[in-house]
Structure 1
Amino acid sequence: MQMAPDTSKLDPVVLELGHLFTDAGYELSLVGGPVRDLFLGRTSPDLDFTTNATPDQILSVARKWSDSHWEMGRDFGTIGFRKRKRSGEVLLIEVTTYRAEAYDPESRKPAVAFGASLEADLARRDFTINAMALRLPSLELVDPHGGAADLAAGILRTPGTPEQSFSDDPLRMMRAARFASQLGLEVHPEVHRAMVGMAGRIGIISAERVRDELVKLVCGAHPRAGVDILVETGLAELVLPEVPALKLETDEHHRHKDVYQHSLQVLEQAAALETGPEGPVPGPDFVLRFAALMHDVGKPKTRRFEPGGAVSFRHHDLAGAKLTAKRMKALRFDNDSIRAVCRLVELHMRFYGYGDTGWTDSAVRRYVTDAGPVLERLHRLTRSDVTTRNQRKADRLSFAYDDLEQRIAVLAEREELDSIRPDLDGGAIMALLGLKPGPVVGRAYKFLLEQRMENGPQSAQAAEAALHAWWAEQPESRAAEPEPHDR
């Protein structure tokens, strides 16, 4: 990592805005993540600035210069701007008045007080790597807490004591784990100890803020490291208790693997199977990664010791899907994400046995249909779930899954597997049987769908014959027959 920020990567808009503020008699500095990223040789999509100007003064300087602005963060001293570059790219910019914050220990929200200097503003920030600034337009680096040195050393420290920092905002403990995941940093021992001692403070943070940090952690370059920190410090017991519960006591004969370490390895392997932007699973993919982390969370609940000392986890896939849904709902995830992750957890064991018993075409169709839109992720999760050191066994499972994917491809080309429907639609069913819309039509549709799954595509005549045969056995059909004296 370079020891000085690469200011050549700064967008000209940054200097342009700096001149606007200094010409108006105010200070302006680029601060936080965008400065940190200059040391890492990359650019940030969003730009954060701090100034001695008040929100009203910020608006007076930059309102006409920007294309639009928003004031949702005004109570916190923040005004946001959108600026379209000549290239057409839109930059999102936030300018915040110097702050000196004090937090109520029992409150989720900070009590904001405006500060008087850049140095005081930097002292209140979460970590030293984010407590650096570039004065504008001079590009003077302001780094009073050694953030550049910490970044070069790969260490995560706080500007002041970690206890004070985490007391001010307990979510910073989650951010420590997130930065370990995103940037590959090691948490300083003093910071780690404070996290252990203060983990309970995370309880005052809203589920939504915890969720957002968890997503960033899971989608980081080193998610295993981030999860390990959550577990080691006790934070996971409060925000994701199903994961530390995977640390099952190993049976005395060591007949089953460490479920926790296995899950972290599956997470890493699943991330490695993500694709580029044009592929079917562009990385980082939270749904795939979180399903990999959670796929075995049903094991503690379903563990049974069998005669002879064997250990079983029957139906842990179904139990795990329920536990995962409960946790994701508590963390306020959206319904689509919950459905996708839980479907993967539920189906992650479906493949096993394929290589030994073989599947009919019907079984392959059901596998594809049950997976639906998460099929490509299921391919990757299933392959990632192989962590055995027995290379022969690993190869056998890999070859078997290769064969399954090939069969899916052949059937998909022949039968349009991604949109399997009965050979007759609801309108045809009602016309053939003389029915009105209702539950019976739904049952008939389900019957024909089963026929489609079992036998593949059929002609209209064959489908009609099967439908009439089914209808003849239904009680509604017999009830509709005329009485003998009416004939």
Structure 2
Amino acid sequence: MTAEKLIDIAAKLAGKNKTKIYITGGYLRDSLLQKENIPDIDFVVYGDAKRTAKAFAKTAKGIFVKLSEEFNIYRVVCKDAGICDFSKGRGKRIEDDLRERDFSVNALAREVKSDELIDLFNGVNDLKNGIIRETTGKSVFKDDPLRLLRAVRFAATLGFKLHPKTAKNIKALSGLITKPAKERVRDELLKLFTSKNSAEYVLLLDKLRLLERIFPVIKEMKGVSQPGFHHLDVFGHSLECLNKLEEIYTDLDFNLSSGQKSFIRGKMNRKTGQFDRSMFLKLTAVLHDSGKPKTKSKDKKGTHFYTHELVGAENFKKIGRQLKLSNEEINTGVTVIKCHLRTGYLAGLKKISKKAVYNFFRDTGEATTDVLLLSWADRLSARGVKVDKKTLTEHKKVIEQLFKAYYKMSTETKVPLLLNGHDLMKHFKLPPSPVLGKLLEKAKEAQATGKIKTKEEALRFLRKFI
């Protein structure tokens, strides 16, 4: 069902019930920008919003959902036709409702039975000029401090700029960003990361003093030099890593087949909740070296950051819990940060053994694609005096080798294990214990690297560990 058809249903209900129904919000804004999206329409009702939404659901053959009885907000989910939200209008007229909205480009309305646009704050002009500007000054941000972040998020997703006065107000009120619920902050950040140029807007968050208030560890990362392999301080490198990651996403410039590249994109486009997996990797990129400030040391050989990946992983775990990320999202980020140096170590070997490859895949697991992409972005964003063309070439070859091996491993029919725990207990007369798991892991590794091919060989191989 098209958006026009949904709006027509709302118009007929307005006429039948003698109520005023207006289109507002993102759908109206995006339609003026001529963006083609699945309809996600906000209707403001001056009348009975609940009754209107139920009648709309019946006509549109959608599912009625209560979002908030307290605030009179209801949703109709239309199969293959998007989502329509119905809310009771604030004040006596639509103009009263629009005055309480956040930004001029969102404070537009049109009655469903009319083509006339209601624009109190020159929102259409701001859309034409690519400007995000608050409707009623600082009070917009004081009423809901999340709007400090939302302003930058809208700028990022629409490719707009902040009005100079808006930027000034946000900077002055940046301390308020600690007040909203962390999960609301999380969602705005992840929406910001849907932009293909989010690095530019993360830098803007920093200039507006928002970033280090959201992530205090950012302040520690600034000014921490890392001579040798790097040309930027830890914070600058992290932003450049995000920038390179977005470039990699765009073209996947690897010596891989189209099928292998499609496999990578499929992995990164997989949804985790309402967001693609790639959005979480961007967040991880910003924080991947957050362990360096606390692990910096110097000796005759130079500057070191021993175990910074372990400290950084702990930082991410703590931040993930604060943002109420899922266990899967936290575990993926932790694995990526812990393992992001591994490909560099492999690139430094004269020959990569089957065992080294097996151990890499064992440790990275479902996060393998994430680790490889971040590792390459990390390498590209480090251009210190110790980095030469050979270093980059060897590193990229290893990344490609591992991508090919992972693709093969993931798409081929799984080879069954040669034995199981019952076989071990029976043959070696062992009781149930954690030892069985350790023995099975050794057998699995030996099978994967070609050392054993039969059950008998497996049992002979394991005897030396009993």
TM class by smaller structure: 0.7 to 0.9
Q: Taking CA–CA contacts closer than 8 Å with sequence separation of 6 or more, which of the two structures ends up with the larger relative contact order? A: 2
What residue is the counterpart of 1:98 in the other structure?
89
Structure 1 residues 449 and 336, CA gap change in structure 2 (3 angstroms)? same
Partner of 1:356: 348
For residues 87 and 460 of structure 2, what CA distance do their matches in structure 1 show? Answer: 73
Task: Report the residue type matching 2:67 in the other structure.
Answer: M
Correspondence 1:16-35 to 2 at 5 A = 16-35=9-28
Q: Distance in 1 between matches of 2:230 and 2:204?
A: 27
Task: For 2:174, give the aligned amino acid.
Answer: A
Query: What is the Cα deviation at residue 27 of structure 1?
Result: 1.2
Aligned-residue offset at 1:170: 0.7
Name the aligned partner's letter for residue 5 of structure 2.
P
> After the TM superposition, which residues 281-430 of structure 1 pair with which residues of structure 2 at under 5 Å, given as runs?
281-283=267-269, 285-307=278-300, 310-358=302-350, 359-385=352-378, 386-389=380-383, 393-394=388-389, 396-403=391-398, 405-406=400-401, 409=404, 413=408, 423-430=418-425
User: What's the Cα RMSD here?
Assistant: 3.0
* Alpha carbons of structure 1 residues 432 and 416: separation in structure 2 relative to 1, 3 Å: farther
| Structure 2 partner of 1:122 | 98
Give yes or no for contact 1:317–1:347 (8 Å, CA) kept in 2.
yes
Match of 1:271 among 221, 232, 246: 246
Distance in 1 separating the partners of 2:218 and 2:115: 45
Amino acid at match of 1:435: L
What CA deviation, in whole Å up to 9, does each residue of 1:316-362 have, x standing for no partner? 11111111111011111000001111111111111113333232221
**Residue ranges of structure 1 left out of the alignment (5+ in a row):** 1-8, 100-114, 472-487
- C-alpha separation in 2, matches of 1:252 and 1:135: 61
Contact 1:368 1:418 in 2 (8 A): no
Deviations 1:71-102 (A, max 9, x none): 23221121211334xxxx24311111112xxx
Task: Tell me the CA shift for residue 174 of structure 1.
Answer: 1.3
- 2:45 corresponds to 1:51: yes
Query: Deviations 1:88-146 (Å, cap 9, x if unpaired)?
Result: x24311111112xxxxxxxxxxxxxxx11111111111111111112212121111101
With structure 2 as the length reference, what TM-score do the two structures score? 0.86
SS at match of 2:102: coil
CA contact (8 A) 1:364 1:408 kept: no
With over 3 angstroms needed to count, the CA separation of the structure-2 counterparts of 1:252 and 1:423, relative to structure 1, is: closer
Equivalent pairs, count: 442
Aligned-pair distance for 1:409?
A: 3.4
Q: Which amino acid aligns with 1:94?
A: D
1:235 partnered with 2:210: yes
Q: Distance in 2 between matches of 1:237 and 1:403?
A: 35
- What is the distance in 2 between the residues matched to 1:91 and 1:243? 38
**CA deviation map 1:430-464 (0-9, x unaligned):** 12112232233233224434544665443322211
- Determine helix, strand or coil for the equivalent of 1:357: coil
Contact 1:132 1:141 in 2 (8 A): yes
Structure 2 gaps, min length 5: 253-260, 270-275
CA distance in 2, matches of 1:416, 1:58: 50
CA 1:253–1:457: 2 relative to 1, 3 Å: closer
1:98 to 1:277, Cα distance in 2 relative to 1, 3 A:
farther
Alignment correspondent of 2:125: 149
Partner amino acid for 2:151? A
Q: Secondary structure at the match of 2:59?
A: coil
User: Letter of the aligned partner of 2:42 in structure 1?
Assistant: D
Which shows bigger deviation, 47-56 or 144-153?
Answer: 47-56
Between the aligned partners of 1:22 and 1:269, the Cα distance in structure 2 is: 54
Which secondary structure does the structure 2 equivalent of 1:435 belong to?
A: coil
CA gap of 1:203–1:406, structure 2 versus 1, over 3 A, is closer
Give the deviation of 1:159 after TM superposition.
Answer: 0.9
TM-score where L is the length of structure 1: 0.82
- C-alpha separation in 2, matches of 1:266 and 1:53: 52
Larger radius of gyration: 1
Q: CA deviation at 1:249?
A: 4.5
SS of equivalent to 2:64: strand
Residue 321 of structure 1 contacts residue 346 of structure 1 at CA under 8 Å; is this kept in 2? yes
Structure-2 change in CA distance of 1:91 and 1:324 (3 Å) = same
Q: Which amino acid aligns with 1:58?
A: T
TM-aligned CA distance change 1:401 to 1:251, over 3 Å: closer
Identity of aligned residues (%): 25
Q: Give the counterpart letter for 1:228 in structure 2.
A: L
Q: Give the conservation status (yes or no) of the 8 Å contact 1:219–1:289.
A: no
Query: One-letter code of the match for 2:311?
Result: A
Q: Residue in 1 aligned with 2:257?
A: none
User: 329-338 or 268-277, which moves further after superposition?
Assistant: 268-277
The verdict on how the C-alpha distance between 1:438 and 1:453 changes in structure 2, with shifts beyond 3 A counting, is: same
Deviations 1:143-167 (A, max 9, x none): 1101111122121101111x10011
1:475 equivalent in structure 2: none
Report the 3-state secondary structure (helix = DSSP H, G, I; strand = E; otherwise coil) of the residue aligned with 1:273: helix
Specify whether residues 382 and 119 from structure 1 end up closer, same or farther in structure 2 by C-alpha distance, changes over 3 A only: same
By how many angstroms is 1:387 displaced?
Answer: 2.0
SS of aligned partner of 2:86: strand
Whether the 8 Å CA contact 1:369–1:418 is kept in 2: the answer is no
Q: Is the 8 A contact 1:181 1:224 kept in 2?
A: no
2:74–2:85 CA contact under 8 A, matched in 1: yes
Letter paired with 1:97: K
Match of 1:126, SS state, is coil
- 1:107 corresponding residue in structure 2: none
| Whole-Å separation in 2 of the counterparts to 1:251 and 1:442 | 42
Give the structure 2 partner of residue 102 of structure 1: none
Partner letter of residue 155 of structure 1?
Answer: I
